[in-house]
Structure 1
């Protein structure tokens, strides 16, 4: 099998240890060539300072996390979400990010209308699509594991994400609207291979970590690559088979393990596992 694409650090991996400035410096120090900031860290540093620093050290911004969170209980909330997403698009453009990752949001508080939440997601993406096209920022819908359907993402499979892409006019060769394939969220899907084939060039990002057994926290117990049950090379082969030649973005949220370790040690481990098990 071919070597994996270059490594990118999603800043969530060391969010408890480092600021965005430190993440940028750490990537440069360790020879990691990609970075994917979260917007809270970006706001602390400011977009202008981050963009200059990233350019100065020669990093590629593989994504900005995150846009989305579209469903709301009223029109004012939905409008606020759309405006926030437009600001995220502008930040992604300033960073020259390869995509804005959309974690689409769950059901509004007190709602049990899952279908209605999914309809709001499609409407929300439709409302920002032209802004994203004009800014040159691809939108990557990230389906999340079904355990997050209520509160974080009511789009839970690649099939659902691609249905939205299709409905909004994004065909297999349209890279303005596509998907982020995060192995943590999709490894279990029996339709994974066929849906990646359906996605074709719309695979805009590839995120790596591992699923631990047992998992002690549904949000904050992701594993380092190779420590769990996901066949990461097999999924990488699937995305590469449809033409993906981008970065492998490591995104590990780990309150009890990796967030408690020295950040330089975390990056060294990411580099070694990227080389040996991805």
Structure 2
């Protein structure tokens, strides 16, 4: 019986650790959904994070209750749920690495490329990212929702004011701020103060520029460059960055859950074996006494 209690204690300890880890995962998912960075507008990262946290919490509670109450059927259910979670995490991590592997060149935290005309200003191009991520953003219906979310979230409001001129002109912005809150550096617009930009003198038809985004810029804070390709590419870049981070976290959790699952299986197997040996021994003794 001591061995059975030891097996239960191992299962309890492993699931207690998993339960504690599920809390920061849930918190991270909620934070990703609530932050004003633009990437949360598509909820491609926050939803899996919340789902992972909830699944970890549910399976851990099942394992804890099953071990504490010695409910074999609940431990079986816990192990099956852990196996399903392992497969789901493996598929997610593999898929995330595939869809974030479309980047060609460039680098840095913002995933954009520095331009020769704007020091520190990064350029974002849709062609640099995977087709799946681009389709999640480029479609008219999806972009209308994301664009509305960007405007409602006020991602560009923190750049308002003359004291933000250095950031707007020289960089130091997030991907979404750089792609959506200022005209592309190639347009050679001049910062006029309080978040407004002036077109180059003498340019009558800015839409004829080599960069079509130059004609889409509007100083209206509800429009800005939200209709620009650079803005769409910046949102895709932010999504790619978050998905790559999520893939790395997924691999770490995959390894950890694999260890917990292996320990749980071994403990459960030992518990069944010791339980069988214990009852067989008691049966043998009773028959011998008779």
Q: Where on the TM-score scale, by shorter chain, does this alignment land: which range?
A: under 0.3
- Tell me which protein shows more strand as a share of its residues: 1
CA radius of gyration, larger in = 2
Normalized per residue, the structure richer in helix is 2
Given the two structures, how large is their TM-score scaled by the length of structure 1? 0.23
Higher relative contact order (CA 8 A, sep 6+): 2
